Amino acid sequence: MTGRFSKATGTSVIGGAEQHPSRSMRTVFLLVALVGALLALVPLWLGSSRVMMGVAVLGLAFACYVIAFNLIFGSTGQLFLCVGALAGIGGYGGAILADTVGVPVAVAIALATVGASLTGGLLSWIAVRRSLGVIFTGIVTLIFSLTFENLLLGLGTLTGGESGFLISAGAGTFIRGQIPPYYLMLAMVLSFVIVHGLLRRSHFGWAFRALRDDEVAAELAGVDVARYRVYAAMIGAAMLGLAGATYAFAEGRISPTTFGFAQLDVTVIVMLAFGGIGTLFGPVLGAATFTFLDEVLIDFGRLRLVAYGTLIIALFLWMPRGVIPTVGDLFRRRRNRRQPGSSRGHSTSGPADDPPPLASTEP
Amino acid sequence: MTASILDGIVLGFQFGLLAAGLTLVYGLGGVLHLAYGQMAVISAMVVLFTLDAGVPVVPAVGIGLIAGGLLGLILDLTILRPVYRLQGEARVLLSLLLTLGVAFVVDGFLNWRYPLVGLSLHVGGGPVELLGVPMRRGSLVASGVTLASFLMLFGFLRGTALGRAVRSVIEDEEGARLVGIDPRRMLRIILVMSGVLAAIVAVTRSMVAPVTVTAGFSITVFALIVTVVGGLGSVSGALLAGIILGVVNSIAASYIGTFLSLIILLAAAALTIVLRPAGLLGVRE
């Protein structure tokens, strides 16, 4: 009975929520260009307002976090509940290196990225070596998050404690401007999507799809799951560190709530669940939608949390796989009805089947 | 030293009882109940408002316990229905996300409607000497109630037919079904019981320190950590882990300082999970 949940490499349902790459890489580049062009227009609309541009930059930072979380959790089934902590290692690491140690900003960001990546890799290595299942990985990384938050509060002389500190390095350069950080972050989001897309088409992607389709067969065929998991965690954590550090310098201010579990991790999970776990563009859609929604709901003040909670419940009850897979299914079903017999080949369960929540039947 | 160990044991009983409800729900139904702390907070608020309405303490606490049980029943009948249709890790994950949503709704509503409200029950009388250490009467009463609840829980699980049925489902759900036990009904009973346990924890905690409307999340996290350290599904493991972590916490707090004590507590929990993923008293297949 306990084996039901402690299954070490049980990626059959959750970790396998990854699509087959039915899209060619060219389509991915085309979609990236389209999304990029669309988002590049945002400053024309909001560019005059410093506050709104700050919101937009935060939204893009969230898109980066969600892509990284999607890479680690959606593609390789490791529930990392320390997205905020890893981004915080980037943010605080970069800011402290630049401000207290006096390293140039670019070098500080690079070092912070490496630090986050190694931490993520270490956490994943522990989870893999000790065969922790999804839930246990989640709890160990949650404990790591709480420890990190408490360290931030406790090491007040270095981190400024609860109120954080103002970052003086980088002031007056383009990274502190009104529009440039937006494009910097946008470039990061788009390149992260491409990296994720390329990874899914590499050995790495095939390994995890093989694992989802038939775990035993995949392991017999020599798929080294453990190694790919650690790599995925390192790449995802590097993304988190890079985005966290860049955001910290763009914002010029840093505090524990910037990277807090309640503020960051929870939002990231909701955004990913909304967009669709395992999809390439779901993270961007989720981040954009919830950044917009957050601005709309800002007048509700404390009731915003109630709205969020209700939305989460409704979302998981009726659209457990997220918007992109659900809409994709509807679209495909209509097309199939129009052209009987032309349903695409390698779909294991037809689109008309009612798929179980959180499991992907995406062809 | 004796003082911090005793303090730690008092804290540990509460940690343990907190984890017992969570561990039963998880072990029995594979439901990770992240709105657990919020159930405790709501029960505390019910006690508070009943007291404000002029009801004496004992019936008010009784009403709070009933409210806790009702909350469990409501969750079981509404939000958890779709969860039960799933199996394995998908079930854990969906339950985790849905109850997280419930936790947000409750937290958001309470913060909006009753900010800065907290329940604290004062137990009269001066400190009582125990092993040469003066202990607050509130802590002793709280520990007594907690220990009594534990004994009743053990008595229920080991001594009654219903309790044995519950344990059989934890051991082997298929086997239990074959001998005519309905796991779904057992789960409903356990959810109601976990609500009552959460309410008991809320009441006993409020004798030592105020239970505020914002306490829900930290209660859940502590319960989760103690549950995992003790071994999922093991009530005695929850008690043992609660006492160990409680003692670690209060010794660290009095010798090193509160900030590092929390980190030591978290590190101890992480180390236990990494070294022994099944928990102290859990069984690993």
> Over the stretch A137-154, which tens digit does the pLDDT of each residue have?
888 898 899 899 888 988
Pairing of strands A165-166, B211-212: unpaired
Phi, psi of B283, deg, nearest 5: -105, 130
> Do A305 and B94 count as a contact with CB atoms less than 8 A apart?
no
Q: Kindly report the nearest CA distance between residue A289 and chain B, in angstroms.
A: 18
> Do A358 and B274 count as a contact with CB atoms less than 8 A apart?
no
Chain A window 268-297: which residues touch B at a Cβ cutoff of 8 Å? 269, 273
- The beta-strand segments (E) located in B92-148 are 118-119, 128-130, 133-135
| pLDDT at residue A215, as a whole number | 67
User: In whole angstroms, what is the distance from residue A115 CA to residue A129 CA?
Assistant: 21
User: In whole angstroms, what is the distance from residue A137 CA to residue A297 CA?
Assistant: 33
Q: Which residues of B touch A306 (CB under 8 A)?
A: 104-105, 108-109, 112
> Do A146 and B269 count as a contact with CB atoms less than 8 A apart?
no
Nearest to A147 among B100, B103, B263 (CB): B263
| pLDDT at residue B285, as a whole number | 38
Question: What's the mean pLDDT in A200-222?
Answer: 77
Q: Kindly report the nearest CA distance between residue A340 and chain B, in angstroms.
A: 32
Q: Kindly report the nearest CA distance between residue A52 and chain B, in angstroms.
A: 25
Q: What is the mean pLDDT of chain A?
A: 80
Lowest mean pLDDT among A226-230, A340-344, B72-76: A340-344
A interface test, pick of B31, B80, B105 with most A CB neighbours within 10 Å: B105
Q: Does A164 touch chain B (CB under 8 A)?
A: no
Question: What's the mean pLDDT in A285-308?
Answer: 83
Chain A window 198-227: which residues touch B at a Cβ cutoff of 8 Å? none
Nearest C-alpha in B relative to A356: B86
B interface test, pick of A313, A318, A321, A361 with most B CB neighbours within 10 Å: A313
> Do B101 and A313 count as a contact with CB atoms less than 8 A apart?
yes
Name the stretches of chain B with pLDDT < 70.
124-126, 282-285
Where residue B88 falls (left for φ over 0; alpha for ψ -120 to 50; beta otherwise) is: left
Contact B95, B28 (CB under 8 A): no
H or E, element range at B139: helix B137-159
Q: What is the pLDDT of residues A65-123, one digit of tens each?
A: 999 999 998 888 888 999 999 999 999 999 999 988 888 989 999 999 999 999 999 99
B interface test, pick of A80, A265, A270, A306 with most B CB neighbours within 10 Å: A306
DSSP assigned state of A74: I
User: In whole angstroms, what is the distance from residue A131 CA to residue A207 CA?
Assistant: 18
| pLDDT at residue A212, as a whole number | 66
| pLDDT at residue B179, as a whole number | 83
User: In whole angstroms, what is the distance from residue B42 CA to residue B111 CA?
Assistant: 12
Instruction: Identify the residue whose tokens are 């995925």.
Output: A232
pLDDT band at A22 (very low <50, low <70, confident <90, very high): low
Q: Kindly report the nearest CA distance between residue A24 and chain B, in angstroms.
A: 30
Question: What's the mean pLDDT in A302-331?
Answer: 80
- Give the residue from B186, B196, B180 showing the smallest Cα distance to B162: B186
Q: Does B159 touch chain A (CB under 8 A)?
A: no
Dihedral angle, C-alpha B71, B76, B79, B80, nearest 10 °: 140
**Token reading at A285:** 């859609």
3-state secondary structure of A81: coil
Q: What percent of chain A has pLDDT over 70?
A: 85
- The beta-strand segments (E) located in B90-147 are 118-119, 128-130, 133-135
Q: Does B29 touch chain A (CB under 8 A)?
A: no
| pLDDT at residue A323, as a whole number | 76
Q: Kindly report the nearest CA distance between residue B208 and chain A, in angstroms.
A: 23
B interface test, pick of A7, A12, A158, A312 with most B CB neighbours within 10 Å: A312
Q: Which residues of B touch A301 (CB under 8 A)?
A: 112
- Give the residue from B179, B191, B214, B156 showing the smallest Cα distance to B70: B191
Contact A275, A65 (CB under 8 A): no
Q: Kindly report the nearest CA distance between residue A59 and chain B, in angstroms.
A: 21
If you count residue pairs, one on A and one on B, with CB atoms under 8 Å apart, how many are there? Answer: 154
The gap between the terminal CA atoms of chain B, to the nearest Å, is: 39
Chain B window 124-153: which residues touch A at a Cβ cutoff of 8 Å? none
What are the beta bridge partners of residue B118?
A: B212
Question: What is the reported pTM?
Answer: 0.83
Domain boundaries, chain B: 11-121+129-215
Single-letter residue type at A32: V
pLDDT at A344 over 60: no
Where residue B33 falls (left for φ over 0; alpha for ψ -120 to 50; beta otherwise) is: beta
pLDDT at A293 over 80: yes
Question: What's the mean pLDDT in A310-327?
Answer: 80
Packed helices B2-29 and B216-230: angle between N→C axes, nearest 10 degrees:
80
What are the beta bridge partners of residue A254?
A: A165
Q: Kindly write down the DSSP assignment for every residue of A315-356, as one continuous string.
A: HHHH-TT-HHHHHHHHHHHHHHHHSTT---TT-SS-TTS-PP
| pLDDT at residue B125, as a whole number | 67
Q: What is the pLDDT of residues A168-209, one digit of tens each?
A: 887 778 788 788 889 999 999 999 999 999 888 888 788 777
Q: What is the pLDDT of residues A37-53, one digit of tens each?
A: 888 888 888 877 888 88
